[in-house]
Amino acid sequence: MSTAEAATIVTGVDFVSLPTEDLARAVEFYGSTLGLTCTVHKPEYNFAEFDTGTVTLSVVNPVKMKIGEFSPNKNHLALQVDDVAAARAELESRGVTFMGDIFDTGVCHMAFLADPDGNHLMLHHRYARR
């Protein structure tokens, strides 16, 4: 069966998981530092969820949930912002350290950072058409 003939099974992305070793610290970072709305906080189940407006971030402690070992995500998760420079400046004032300068691809601006667990993140703004 070709790809064109295959029935659609996946219809979207509900959430993206990010591992943590310290749920309280992660909740502080994603909620207070990044300013995302925490929609679910279940410390007794070792996870919390944050609304980005497009995809939910599910922060989980995989060891305490008994679903795996802790290993930070080194593939940058792109967080959409209106103005990378302004967002970066605000986060720096909140104690966030960035990796290098703002990168301009000719289509978008990006600024690279990591959460307290070492998960790689990126502030991202597309300013030109694809």
Q: Each residue of 39-81: pLDDT tens digit?
A: 999 999 999 999 999 999 999 999 999 999 999 999 999 999 9
Q: Given a cut of 60, is residue 38 above it in pLDDT?
A: yes
Mean pLDDT of 5-33: 94
pLDDT of 113 reads 98
CATH code of residue 60 = 3.10.180.10
pLDDT of 4 reads 64
Task: Give domain status of residue 10, yes or no.
Answer: no
Task: Give domain status of residue 60, yes or no.
Answer: yes
Task: Give domain status of residue 3, yes or no.
Answer: no
pLDDT of 78 reads 97
Domain count, the chain: 1
Query: Beta-carbon neighbour count of residue 34 at 10 Å?
Result: 20
Task: Give domain status of residue 5, yes or no.
Answer: no
Residue range of the domain that includes 57: 15-126
| DSSP-derived secondary structure letter, 63 | T
Query: Beta-carbon neighbour count of residue 8 at 10 Å?
Result: 5
pLDDT of 129 reads 85
DSSP H helical segments within 94-127, as ranges?
none
